DNA sequence: CCGACTGGCTAAACCGATCAAGTAGTGTGA
DNA sequence: TCACACTACTTGATCGGTTTAGCCAGTCGG
């Protein structure tokens, strides 16, 4: 049907009997053409299926209708975490509504990530950038400012003024909710099997547990590399110790499942002998036997909110304030109960 | 530091004392400049951190160094399947090595998918396109040909000549492996809890089970919408029927976990009373108690292979033959055993 | 009745690369 | 010595939009 040649603004102009400039004015809703002419042009555009060339637009510095996301994580490990798929799906879902595409790129480290940001910016390939995994003294924030790019950081707290605004989840509140729930059930010895120590949320959650010593809860924090193997080993030694914890909280659902299995292999009944909970929820956590108590966070919505903030900033052409993301809620399931009176 | 103005080929030309055209020749390794001049130009390029403008390149029809992937799946459900994250990670991993980006877009249906393909093509935004979920009489193949675009289909069989080449996983062989394994254990009544009937691999797998009637295996196929709720309901009725199956195979791990739980709730011991297996593996499948026998496929590598084929086609400027993807292997775990002698 | 202003449009420059065509300058062969 | 080829460039067109400057006709104010 429609053969090779692409329909350009010049074609439309010829058909409408006006100049290319006039067509551009009409299309972009700016003054310079009469309403009558505008309607005629728009009709012809419609009729001939004209599509703007994003390359040409990008060249003159207009919108690229694309947002970039460079991810500095090991590619092989991404799949085991539903987090990223949900996040990306959420981001994309909001972007799609606005006919904006997502440019995804896996990079080795922060240095390469920043290099990619520069390329994207300098060639006008993206209108905005999404950042994740904030760290202390993050070099990316300054770089983004130097590039004069719009961006959002997905993190654990509001950004300081002048740096990249964030969409954040209050990890301390999340920890407060889960640990308090266990304490209210009567647990006084709680172990927290965490991720790597350098992650911000690990620190925030551990601090909450520490503070609960005031309420008579003795907490123990063990950091891991997130691997199920480590989780199994840690669980085994926790349950062999004396006195042993009556509740174990894991940083994610995969580790919790691994821990649950170890407990069962050691002959403990969950939740009678030990309660188990996770900071991360998933479909599986609710299906397993016993189902696992977890903090449910709406990662999809987190992605949507980040995309929304970014799009708003792009339209405004300026930074906007940080925004709090969806608040995780406690989903109590079968794996938690008051501790057995004897222990 | 490096302030606003972007470094263009004209800047480099001025610094090197040559014309912009000469710089272009030097950069693209084509004849027309002396080796000496070329070296000088490249040094200046390096020194001044010149970066090509992809917009300008795209405008003249050169490579965009981007590959497009429009996904017609409900955004909310993507996260529960590790498949997509792994696939995308695999694709991206190979693309990154070649400094190529992935343009991801979620769309509502095939019509919108094709519309996006047209936009991408007509504005030279992507060099190639990835397709997934082939269907009978797929309209996308013709459209891709009309756009004269490079593409790969991720599917279940080699593509017919002239259409979009595929990277495929032999779903019939996969089914053969798993069903035969169960038959060899002594199972003669096998149920298959499948996905939607319109998916190609559902049909292929079901056909394999049907053919096994010749070997004395009576199979039953129940299609679902992939939801754990349906899987639970189906499992409950399967295990209440008489005679009931001694083995149940699920299309993915989430459904298998749901089925396992139902069996346990009904007082059946797995695998003594009923064997359970899945066509899809995951970390969780190996951690759960009992761990679930599954067909392990290397989705990451599948993505890598698809990206490789696509990149090769882009370089060649022509279609290449379909290629077989990584062969899934059986991972036997605790959830399968010979059927109890009585039943 | 003249100048200033305004609405509606055109012409042309521009963005940053690629590439075909053209032009010096040198060397080669008859 | 002239034609010819070859090297090493330069010039200028080109892609498809956006945008500035300018033109013309009509209107208004004084």
Q: Inter-chain contact B90–A101, Cβ cutoff 8 Å? A: no
- Give the C-alpha distances (Å, rounded to integers) separating A29 from A21, A34, A220: 12, 11, 63
Helix (H) or strand (E) segment spanning residue A207:
helix A200-211
Residue B63: pLDDT band (50, 70, 90) is confident
pLDDT at B16 over 50: yes
pLDDT at B230 over 90: yes
Q: How far apart are CA B284 and CA B269, in angstroms?
A: 20
β-partners of residue A167 are A154, A323
Q: How far apart are CA B156 and CA B174, in angstroms?
A: 11
Q: How many CB atoms sit inside 10 A of residue A235's CB?
A: 28
Q: Inter-chain contact A123–B54, Cβ cutoff 8 Å? A: yes
pLDDT at B12 over 50: yes
pLDDT, position B60: 85
Partners of residue B105 in chain A, C-beta under 8 Å: 92, 96, 101-102
pLDDT, position B59: 85
The Cα angle at residue B140 between residues B134 and B143, in degrees rounded to 5: 160
Smallest Cβ–Cβ distance between A89 and the set B75, B102, B261 belongs to B75
Q: Which of B85, B146, B267 to mutate to test the interface with A (most CBs of A within 10 A)?
A: B85
pLDDT digits (tens, 9 = 90+) for B259-278: 999 999 999 999 999 999 99
Q: Which residues touch strand C (CB under 7 A)?
A: A 17-22, 25, 31-34, 36-37, 56, 59-61; B 6, 8-10, 20-21, 24-25, 27-28, 32, 50-53, 55-57, 59-62
From start to end of B124-169, where are the E strands?
A: 128-132, 150-155, 166-168
Cis peptide before A271 (omega within 30 of 0): yes
Gap from B17 CA to D11 C1', Å: 15
Label the pairing between strands A128-132 and A166-168: unpaired
Tell me the count of A-B CB pairs closer than 8 A: 171
**Can you read off the two tokens belonging to residue B130?**
């990835």
B227 interface with A at CB cutoff 8 Å: no
Smallest Cβ–Cβ distance between A84 and the set B64, B85, B124 belongs to B85
Q: How many CB atoms sit inside 10 A of residue A131's CB?
A: 23
**Can you read off the two tokens belonging to residue A35?**
């309403």
pLDDT, position B80: 63
Q: How far apart are CA B22 and CA A147, in angstroms?
A: 29
Which position has the higher pLDDT, B118 or A279? A279
Q: Inter-chain contact A254–B284, Cβ cutoff 8 Å? A: yes
Q: Give the nearest chain A residue to B287 (CA atoms).
A: A258
Q: Nearest CA to CA, how far is A18 from chain B (Å)?
A: 24
CA A65 distance to own-chain centroid: 20
User: Taking the CA of residue B50 as centre, how many other CA atoms within 13 Å lie in the half-sphere pointing to its CB?
Assistant: 19
Gap from A108 CA to D20 C1', Å: 45
Q: Is the CB of A14 under 7 A from strand D?
A: no
Average pLDDT, chain B: 90
Q: How far apart are CA A292 and CA B235, in angstroms?
A: 22
Smallest Cβ–Cβ distance between A288 and the set B6, B75, B257 belongs to B257
pLDDT at B78 over 80: no
Residue A236 dihedral angles phi and psi, to the nearest 5°: -60, -45
A124 interface with B at CB cutoff 8 Å: yes
Gap from B25 CA to D6 C1', Å: 18
A287 interface with B at CB cutoff 8 Å: yes
User: Taking the CA of residue B57 as centre, how many other CA atoms within 13 Å lie in the half-sphere pointing to its CB?
Assistant: 20
Partners of residue A88 in chain B, C-beta under 8 Å: 88, 104
Q: Is the CB of B36 under 7 A from strand D?
A: yes
* Concatenated DSSP letters of A213-263: GGGT-EEEEEE--S-HHHHHHHHHHHHHSSSPPSEEEESSHHHHHHHHHHH
Residue B343: pLDDT band (50, 70, 90) is very low
**Can you read off the two tokens belonging to residue B216?**
């004395």
pLDDT, position A133: 84
Gap from B112 CA to D18 C1', Å: 28
DSSP state of A212: G
Helix axes B35-47, B20-27, angle to 10 degrees: 90
β-partners of residue A330 are A295
A229 interface with B at CB cutoff 8 Å: no
Q: How many CB atoms sit inside 10 A of residue B63's CB?
A: 15
* Whether the predicted model's global pTM rises above the 0.85 cut: no
Q: Give the nearest chain B residue to A118 (CA atoms).
A: B51
pLDDT, position B306: 98
B258 interface with A at CB cutoff 8 Å: yes
Cis peptide before B165 (omega within 30 of 0): no
Gap from B5 CA to D21 C1', Å: 25
Nearest to A177 by CA among A4, A70, A327, A316: A327
Torsion sign over Cα B334, B338, B340, B343? positive
**DSSP SS3 for A104:** strand
β-partners of residue A104 are A69, B102
pLDDT, position A247: 98
Smallest Cβ–Cβ distance between A80 and the set B4, B54, B283 belongs to B283
pLDDT, position B1: 37
Report which of residues 30-89 in chain A place their beta carbon less than 7 angstroms from any atom of strand D: 32, 50-53, 55-57, 59-62
DSSP state of B177: H
Partners of residue A91 in chain B, C-beta under 8 Å: none
**Can you read off the two tokens belonging to residue B80?**
């529960």
Nearest to A54 by CA among B68, B69, B121, B95: B121
B287 interface with A at CB cutoff 8 Å: yes
Question: Which residue ranges of chain A lie beneath pLDDT 70?
Answer: 1-5, 75-81, 341-343
Q: What is the largest CA-CA distance in chain B?
A: 91
Gap from A1 CA to D16 C1', Å: 23
Question: In percent, how much of chain B has pLDDT > 70?
Answer: 96
Q: How far apart are CA A163 and CA B102, in angstroms?
A: 28
Average pLDDT over residues B98-109: 86
Q: How far apart are CA B59 and CA A56, in angstroms?
A: 6
Q: Which of A79, A117, A143, A231 to mutate to test the interface with B (most CBs of B within 10 A)?
A: A79
Q: How far apart are CA A120 and CA A58, in angstroms?
A: 11
Cis peptide before B271 (omega within 30 of 0): yes
């Amino acid at each position: 049907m429609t053969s090779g040649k692409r329909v350009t603004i010049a074609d439309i102009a010829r058909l409408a009997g006006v100049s290319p400039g006039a067509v551009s004015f009409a299309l972009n809703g700016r003054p310079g053409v009469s309403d009558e002419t505008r309607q005629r042009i728009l009709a012809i555009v419609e009729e001939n299926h004209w599509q703007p060339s994003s390359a040409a637009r990008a060249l003159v510095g207009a919108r690229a209708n694309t947002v970039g996301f460079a991810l500095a994580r090991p590619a092989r490990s991404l799949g085991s975490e539903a987090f990223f798929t949900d996040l990306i799906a959420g981001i994309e879902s909001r972007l799609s509504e606005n006919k904006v595409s997502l440019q995804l790129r896996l990079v080795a480290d922060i240095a390469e990530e920043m290099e990619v940001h520069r390329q994207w910016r300098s060639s006008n390939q993206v209108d905005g950038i999404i950042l994740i995994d904030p760290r202390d003294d993050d070099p990316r924030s300054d770089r983004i400012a130097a590039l004069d790019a719009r961006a959002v950081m997905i993190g654990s707290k509001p950004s300081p003024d002048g740096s990249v605004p964030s969409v954040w989840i209050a990890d301390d509140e999340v920890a407060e909710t889960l640990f308090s729930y266990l304490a209210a059930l009567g647990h006084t010895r709680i172990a927290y099997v965490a991720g790597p120590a350098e992650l911000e949320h690990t620190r925030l959650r551990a601090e909450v547990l520490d503070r609960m010593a005031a309420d008579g809860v003795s907490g123990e924090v063990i950091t891991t590399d997130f691997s199920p193997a480590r989780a199994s080993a840690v669980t085994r030694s926790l349950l062999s110790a004396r006195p042993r914890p009556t509740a174990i909280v894991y940083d994610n659902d995969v580790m919790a499942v691994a821990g649950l299995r170890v407990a069962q292999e050691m002959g403990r009944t969950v939740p009678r002998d030990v309660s188990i909970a996770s900071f991360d929820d998933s479909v599986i956590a609710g299906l397993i036997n016993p189902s696992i108590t977890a903090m449910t966070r709406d990662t999809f919505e987190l992605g949507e909110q980040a995309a929304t903030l970014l799009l708003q900033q792009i339209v405004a052409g300026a930074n906007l304030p940080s925004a709090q993301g969806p608040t995780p809620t406690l989903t109590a399931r079968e794996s938690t109960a008051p501790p057995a009176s004897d222990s």
